[in-house]
Amino acid sequence: MCLGSCATCAVQLCSCVCCKICCKFGSARSTGVKLLYAFLLLLSSILALAMLGTGVQSWLNDTVSSFWFDLSDPLGDGTVEIISDDLVGTLAVIRIMTAVIAFHLLIAPLVLCVQSTQDARAEIHNGMWPVKMIALVGLIVLMFVLPNGLFVALSSTVYRVGGGLYILINLLYYVEFVYEFYERVFAEDGEQKQLWMYLIVLLTVLSYAWVIFVAVAITVWHHEDGSGSAGEGGGCPEGMAGAWVGVLFTLLVSGLSVSGFVRNAKNGPGSTNGIFQSGAVAAYCMYQVLSAVVNHPDANCRPLADAASTRLRFMGCFFVFIAVCFSAVRKASHGGADGAPTTATTGKGEPGEEEELEDDEKEGVRYSYTTFHLVMCLAAMYIAMMLTSWHTMEESATSDNFILDRSMASVWIKIGTSWLCFFLYFLTLILPPMCPDRQFGDPQDTYP
């Protein structure tokens, strides 16, 4: 009883502190709320990543194997099947991220069609943090007692598709950031602008160098057949296709981005297009190709040892967190529902050190709450797949348990998604000049 009370107080204290930090960082309540959801996703991802530690996997195997798996004599010869630590750790990751997905799926329909914070249901999204944190912890505990088959089915189908969709959504955030960063640089004056321009040149060179590096590295690895010595050229044909089609797309979008046909369009980004943006998009797409190769089922095709991918997984979680944060801050930076910038006020209505953040959604919500939670579901699916290296779990031929393996479907999902990213960026370049009667984005004369 006492322990439960202490836990409740601790959750409430943590939620208040986190909410205060997020609200201080954001300029409005709507921003702080989304940042807090981003922090919850990051913390859940770190917890899931911890399940892949060698010591944790071993402890989990000793603790839950008898409950999760059929450890009876499957072959009838007196031997008991040994479950690998990797399989147990992978299932633990899927279970934790499934709890996060269920958390957002439960909230999404409850806040459907909320128009402003005057609607009582808005508090489900914006408040009740102690209750929601306890619910999330409860969902995580619940997932650890459900049967394996549910998580195997979800990770093999739904989560792969959802992860691929989130890669595309991440591209939208990424392209938006690249354009806004470039525009901010042009808003500077004097020596400061010159320094920022040097940074843009450096980033452009690094982006194209990364594209060349990935293409050359995959080509070398293909011809060495993954063994470090010359082979028969059959090491990684999927990687070769992904890399060199990506190079062709890079040349195409780079040429278009500096052409008068694209830059002279007045109904879109127009003259702000250039090789900086196209290079940044190409670097992102080629990263997806390299990620696909790293997770290839054929060991001869993987340039990195499995142990070396832990840092990449943590970086992937962090970048998802940054993407969600950017989405929150970017929306707030464009002002309130009426287009005017929102400011925090004290309880007396005067600018200053606020005790409580101003509610900027009294007249209308700044974003769709339901859509936000659905996007968070996709982000959690992507993290689940990324942390588990897009592994597939299949039923063993000799028992009722499962074996852990890599999937070619995941390789092609990532390569295909990288090509689709190129195609979407290609459309953003050609649609404004091809459809001069339509406005794409903000008019150029309103850019900062």
Residue 362 lies in a domain: yes
B/e letters for 356-392, b = 16+ CB within 10 Å, e = fewer, are ebbbbbeeebbeebbebbebbbbbbbbbbbbbbbbbb
Q: Quick one: pLDDT at residue 340?
A: 39
CA 65 to chain centre: 31
Residue 379 lies in a domain: yes
Full domain range(s) for residue 39: 25-66+82-337+356-446
Q: Quick one: pLDDT at residue 224?
A: 63
Residue 350 lies in a domain: no
CA 163 – CA 149 distance, rounded (Å): 20
CA 238 – CA 35 distance, rounded (Å): 38
B/e letters for 139-159, b = 16+ CB within 10 Å, e = fewer, are bbeebbeeebeebbebbbeeb
Q: Quick one: pLDDT at residue 152?
A: 84
Mean pLDDT of 170-186: 79
**8 A C-beta contact, residue 390 and residue 417:** no
Q: Quick one: pLDDT at residue 395?
A: 54
Q: Quick one: pLDDT at residue 341?
A: 40
Instruction: Examine the pLDDT at 358 and tell me if it is beyond 60.
Output: yes
In which band, very low, low, confident or very high, does the pLDDT at 417 lie, cut at 50, 70 and 90?
confident
Residue 1 lies in a domain: no
Higher per-residue pLDDT: 340 or 130: 130
Residue 216 lies in a domain: yes
Residue 433 lies in a domain: yes
In which band, very low, low, confident or very high, does the pLDDT at 225 lie, cut at 50, 70 and 90?
low
pLDDT above 90: percentage of residues in the chain: 16
- What pairs with residue 406 in β-bridges? 391
In which band, very low, low, confident or very high, does the pLDDT at 317 lie, cut at 50, 70 and 90?
low
pLDDT tens profile 276-291: 889 989 998 898 888 8
Q: Which helix (H) or strand (E) holds 376?
A: helix 369-387
Q: Quick one: pLDDT at residue 246?
A: 93
Which of 180-194, 251-265, 326-340, 396-410 is the least confident region?
Answer: 326-340
Mean pLDDT of 52-64: 83
Instruction: Examine the pLDDT at 357 and tell me if it is beyond 80.
Output: no
* Average pLDDT value for the chain: 75
Alpha-helical regions (H) of 188-257: 190-224, 237-257
pTM value is 0.75
Q: Tell me, what DSSP letter sits at residue 341?
A: P
Residue 20 lies in a domain: no
In which band, very low, low, confident or very high, does the pLDDT at 399 lie, cut at 50, 70 and 90?
very low
Alpha-helical regions (H) of 296-352: 310-333
Q: Tell me, what DSSP letter sits at residue 354?
A: -
Residue 230: burial class (beta carbons within 10 Å; 0-12, 13-18, 19+)? exposed
Q: Quick one: pLDDT at residue 4?
A: 42
Domain count, the chain: 1
Instruction: Examine the pLDDT at 249 and tell me if it is beyond 90.
Output: yes
Mean pLDDT of 333-349: 40
Q: Tell me which residue has tokens 């997806």.
A: 288
In which band, very low, low, confident or very high, does the pLDDT at 17 lie, cut at 50, 70 and 90?
very low
Mean pLDDT of 158-165: 88
CA 45 – CA 97 distance, rounded (Å): 7
CA 148 – CA 33 distance, rounded (Å): 34
